[in-house]
Each structure stands twice: as C-alpha cells, then as structure tokens.
Amino acid sequence: MTVTSLHDPAHREALWELEAAFDRGDLISVFGRCSVSYEGRAASDLGSGDRLLLLKPDGAALVHTDEGQKPVNWQPPGSEHRAAVREGRLRVTSVRETPEETLRVHFSDVQQLSAMSVTGGRDLELHGSEEDLRTRILERPDLIEAGFEPIGTEHPSNAGPIDVFGVDADGTPVVVELKRRRVGPDAVGQLARYVRAIREELGTEGSSVAEPETEGSSMANPPDDADTTRVRGMLVAPSVTERAAERLADRGFEHVALEPTPAE
C-alpha cells in the first residue's frame, strides 16, 4: 500500500495516522479548515479557512490556498514536524533553528489526510540556463564579436568571479557578463565592478581614480580611444531595459544580444 487516505477523520485518528506517516517518511497532505501562524524571520497570522497542508519528509511544510503559485505560509526543509491534539483539535507544528522559526497550523476540521510513499525520479534536466549561454559562447566566440578569444570562465577578480574573460581582435581585455534573460540596471552595476577590478589589476587608466559613475557625465569612452578603454565591458543578454541601456552607454559598455539557446 503506497497511499493511505482518511476521509473526515476524527482529530485523534488523524493524529495517529500522521505520526505513523512521519515514521514511514511519507509525503503527507492534510486538507481542512485551519488557522495558521508563523513566527521567525518575519511573523504572520492567517485566520480560519480551507487549506491544503503539505508535509515533506525532508522537513518542508507548505500551506496552500486555492490560488497563487507560492504557499501562503511555509517552513523550509530541515524543519521538524510535530503533531498533537489539544482541546480536541489537531495541531501541526513545524520548527527549525538557525534561524529559529515556527509554523503552527490549527485545524478545526480535517476533511482529508493522505500519506504517500514517494520513490525515484529526481533527474531534472534544465536547458536554457546561463551555463548554456556560456557554453554557447565558448563554442562560438564569434557570436560575441569577430576575433573575440575567451581566456577563461569564472575568472577570479577582486569583485568576484567574471563570467567570461577574454581579449578582442586588438588584444584588448574584455570582461563579459552573461544573463540568460532581459536585464535591468542592476546587471550593469555588476559588470562595472568587474571591469573596475580588472582595470585596477592591470593598472590601466591614467590616474588612480577610475571611471566616474556619474549618470550626468556623458563621458562614454569612445571605442576607438584605446588609451582610456584598455578594458572593455560587455553585457551579453537577450535584451536590456531602457534604463540599463542608458547606464551601459554612460560607462562606455556594450551590449551583445544573444539567447542562451540558438533560435530555432
């Protein structure tokens, strides 16, 4: 028997089955009228209503209503589930530490309880990720620009690992930041930190004062002036928002439109 199911159980019955399911390491679902409270990283209270409580053997707990992709309340994996009957009502509690947080679900009515034993199948294969984009560029560097040569990926710098580091046809260093989807201004800031780190490392730029970040100063580095552009910054993403484009232009960076997977 891989699924045990109780219909409209008494709270005591539900408790027994729940504890047996905990022991078996089953995936458990409880549907019924309940109130929920959470306290930990934040705090919340949810009045009485019909909800589905999912209890996983790895300690995760999810409270779902009839809408939304996210649970209204939850507890991360690693929590410990406990159940009890107080005042004739089923209470489920899920607690974890570091950080300490507690989820409490108090049922006034249990309409169904199911315990399911789960086996196999965790081999998810995901395509179209940032890693796919990196692979694509390493296989065809000309997608960035003719003559581009990758030197390394996850290239270490003071500002953290650079997605792709390389040189262009003129031998000028190029810092490449990859994003799998359309990006906002935040990505430009990230690219700027990497470029700055490499400029400092290579001791380029006339003075110790690097590229000003001022949005007002439209001192975009002209691409033909090698003296002030000895390190190029390149954002590779399917597209960029308008504000991101502005920030790119302000800093003299470039955008290359590229999808993580080839267009069909």
Q: 104-163: which residues touch its own copies (CB under 8 A)?
A: 111-112, 114, 116-129, 158-159
102 φ/ψ sector (left φ>0, alpha ψ -120 to 50, else beta): beta
| Contact stretch for DNA (CB under 7 A) within 66-74, 216-224, 227-235, 249-257 | 66-74
Cβ neighbours, 10 Å, residue 28: 23
Selection from its own copies, DNA, none that 56 binds (CB < 5 to 8 A by kind) is its own copies
**Nearest Cα residue to 21 out of 33, 32, 10, 29:** 29
Nearest CB to DNA, comparing residues 9 and 150? 150
54 in helix, strand or coil?
A: strand
Selection from DNA, its own copies, none that 241 binds (CB < 5 to 8 A by kind) is DNA
Q: Are 85 and 11 in contact (CB under 8 A)?
A: yes
CA 219 to chain centre: 35
Instruction: Round to whole Å and give the CA distance between 10 and 15.
Output: 9
| Contact stretch for its own copies (CB under 8 A) within 65-73, 137-145, 161-169, 229-237 | 65-73
Decide: is 175 part of the binding site for DNA (CB under 7 A).
no
Among 57, 141, 185, 238, binds DNA (CB under 7 A): 185
160 in helix, strand or coil?
A: coil
User: Contact positions toward DNA, by CB under 7 A?
Assistant: 38, 40-42, 44, 68-70, 73-77, 98, 101, 103, 126, 128-131, 159-160, 163, 179-182, 184-186, 190, 241-244
